[in-house]
């Protein structure tokens, strides 16, 4: 089976026709093979739409805003609300949606004070139905899997993709096959996939090994792959940026900062920014920067050592398991959007990630470790003078705090760095630690604990 996308959109203001284009040799095609790679050169495909320029940006903005007041399934979705910039299935009946998107844009007052950046925001994609940004892409890709008549969908994952895919497969009446690295994803994410009915295989390898195997499997078995190699995923993930710009009244921020793993999300956000500029929805581009964990820094090294021209793979290791990826599939797409938007690529240490996660938690928001690289990276970009205090900055928080409770508990109990070289250094984070206390079930004991806490609490730890 192949995925045909030449479809016509029924709603105004203009008709769209999507095709696939190879990012390597530029070959165009109306359908894609199972592995979503170019049949000529083997590189990744992306989707194109020849008729965007005919869209009136003013009409689009008011149409999208008006849809927020409507109760149709497609309008309630923060992804399909922007369907003029998405591939549409032949029938709207095929759309698999869990009302994804519509995620909040939060201010970060404490981090603003600490960094001196007064306009600092977090776009929290962890507030999606399965708790991560994956849902925005999954609704589109699962829709096309269903339209193509697949019984099985499959992915390799560090956890979030599998949770999201399993949910959308269940809603769309499909089975799901999950390939995850054994012992290297959080139980929270795996347990989601199980509840949504996935066939979960824990493979004795890393994420990169799982993805390699999946690429072979799709050529052998009739399964539809839902990794971000699948261009439909990235089309859906574009809406993060569209919704963000709408929330900012179409005034582009100076910087958008995003974590980098397999590099699908940065590619999707960059694609959306370029398309919005082309259509005239925005007047200029924000700079899109990608932050990686030091132990999983393939893009950083690809740019520094390979000049952005060849992939420098790494053996990935980080406690931010969502981005424990050494051989990112979409590296070329990410390099292109970094270059097109003038963004930076930075790496942060495990300690820096932990501190940033604690700081985001202290804002009453929270996120999973991989998302916290954004704040940690921002501090470095600020120090380097790449970001300036008077600029507007948006951090993309990709996953919910509840995604990795083991990590959070280990941090508060001072177990995270126990026995590692970082143990002493991690003591400086004590102000963020709030380990649970075990006390007698008496009023006196609770009152005493409260009084002790009041005494030891600095009035404002961030002042």
Applying CB under 6 A, the residues found at the interface with ligand F0G are: 132, 157-161, 228, 259-266, 322-323, 368, 370-371, 398-399
Based on CB atoms, which residue is closest to ligand F0G, 174 or 322? 322
CB of 180 to ligand F0G, least distance (A): 8
Distance CA 378, CA 122 (A): 12
CB of 188 to ligand F0G, least distance (A): 12
Based on CB atoms, which residue is closest to ligand F0G, 172 or 264? 264
Distance CA 232, CA 270 (A): 15
CB of 291 to ligand F0G, least distance (A): 10
Q: What is the H or E stretch that residue 225 is in?
A: strand 223-225
Based on CB atoms, which residue is closest to ligand F0G, 60 or 177? 177
Based on CB atoms, which residue is closest to ligand F0G, 252 or 260? 260
Contact yes or no for 328/334 (Cβ under 8 A)? yes
Based on CB atoms, which residue is closest to ligand F0G, 261 or 286? 261
CB of 403 to ligand F0G, least distance (A): 7
CB of 208 to ligand F0G, least distance (A): 10
CB of 198 to ligand F0G, least distance (A): 13
Q: Distance between the two ends of the chain, CA-based, in angstroms?
A: 60
Distance CA 248, CA 376 (A): 23
Measured over all CA atoms, what is the biggest interatomic distance in the chain, rounded to whole angstroms?
75
Phi, psi (rounded to 5 degrees) for 172:
-95, 5
CB of 439 to ligand F0G, least distance (A): 35
CB of 99 to ligand F0G, least distance (A): 20
Phi, psi (rounded to 5 degrees) for 3:
-100, 110
Based on CB atoms, which residue is closest to ligand F0G, 89 or 328? 328
Based on CB atoms, which residue is closest to ligand F0G, 77 or 266? 266
H runs (alpha helix) in 154-206: 160-171, 187-195
- Going from the C-alpha of 22 to that of each of 31, 41, 112, 121, the distances in angstroms are 12, 8, 41, 35
**Spatial CA neighbour of 211 closest among 109, 93, 331, 129:** 331
Output the six-digit token pair for 369.
Answer: 């470790």
Based on CB atoms, which residue is closest to ligand F0G, 140 or 281? 140
Based on CB atoms, which residue is closest to ligand F0G, 359 or 368? 368
- Going from the C-alpha of 294 to that of each of 188, 193, 355, the distances in angstroms are 24, 29, 15
**Spatial CA neighbour of 319 closest among 258, 274, 369, 282:** 369
Phi, psi (rounded to 5 degrees) for 29:
-150, 155
CB of 193 to ligand F0G, least distance (A): 11
């Amino acid at each position: 089976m192949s995925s045909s996308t030449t479809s016509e959109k029924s709603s105004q203001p203009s008709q769209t026709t999507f095709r696939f284009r190879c990012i390597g040799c530029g070959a165009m095609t109306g359908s894609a093979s199972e592995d979503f790679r170019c049949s000529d050169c083997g590189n990744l495909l992306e989707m194109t739409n020849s008729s965007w320029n005919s869209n009136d940006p003013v009409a689009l903005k008011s149409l999208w805003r008006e849809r927020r007041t409507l109760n149709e399934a497609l309008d309630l979705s923060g992804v399909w609300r922007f369907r003029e910039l998405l591939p549409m299935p032949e029938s709207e009946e095929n759309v698999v949606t869990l009302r994804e998107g519509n995620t909040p844009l939060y201010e970060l007052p404490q981090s603003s004070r600490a960094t001196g950046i007064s306009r600092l925001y977090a776009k929290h994609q962890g507030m999606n139905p399965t708790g991560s940004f994956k849902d925005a892409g999954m609704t589109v890709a699962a829709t096309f899997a269903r339209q193509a008549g697949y019984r099985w969908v499959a992915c390799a994952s560090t956890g979030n993709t599998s949770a999201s895919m399993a949910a959308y497969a269940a809603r769309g009446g499909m089975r799901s096959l999950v390939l995850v690295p054994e012992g290297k994803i959080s139980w929270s994410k795996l347990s989601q996939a199980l509840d949504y009915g996935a066939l979960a295989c824990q493979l004795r390898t890393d994420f990169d090994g799982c993805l390699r195997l999946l690429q072979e499997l799709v050529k052998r078995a009739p399964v539809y792959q839902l990794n971000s190699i699948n261009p439909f995923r990235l089309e859906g993930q574009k809406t993060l940026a569209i919704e963000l710009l709408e929330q900012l009244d179409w005034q582009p921020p100076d910087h958008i900062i995003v974590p980098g793993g397999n590099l699908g999300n940065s590619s999707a956000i960059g694609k959306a920014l370029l398309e919005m500029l082309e259509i005239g929805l925005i007047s200029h581009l924000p700079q899109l920067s990608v932050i990686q964990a030091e132990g999983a820094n393939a893009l950083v090294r690809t740019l520094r050592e390979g000049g952005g021209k060849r992939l420098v793979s790494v053996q990935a290791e980080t406690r931010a398991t969502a981005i424990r990826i050494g051989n990112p599939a979409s590296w070329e797409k990410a390099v292109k959007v970094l270059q097109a938007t003038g963004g930076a690529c930075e790496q942060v240490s495990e300690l820096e990630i932990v501190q940033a996660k604690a700081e985001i938690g202290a804002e009453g928001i929270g996120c999973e470790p991989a998302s916290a690289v954004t704040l940690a990276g921002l501090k470095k970009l600020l120090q380097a003078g790449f970001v300036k205090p008077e600029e507007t900055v948006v951090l993309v928080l990709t996953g919910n705090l509840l995604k990795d409770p083991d990590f959070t508990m280990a941090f508060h109990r001072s177990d995270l760095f126990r026995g590692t070289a970082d143990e002493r250094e991690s003591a400086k984070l004590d102000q963020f630690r709030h380990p649970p206390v075990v006390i007698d079930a008496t009023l006196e004991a609770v009152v005493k604990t409260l009084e002790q806490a009041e005494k030891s609490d600095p009035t404002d730890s961030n002042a």
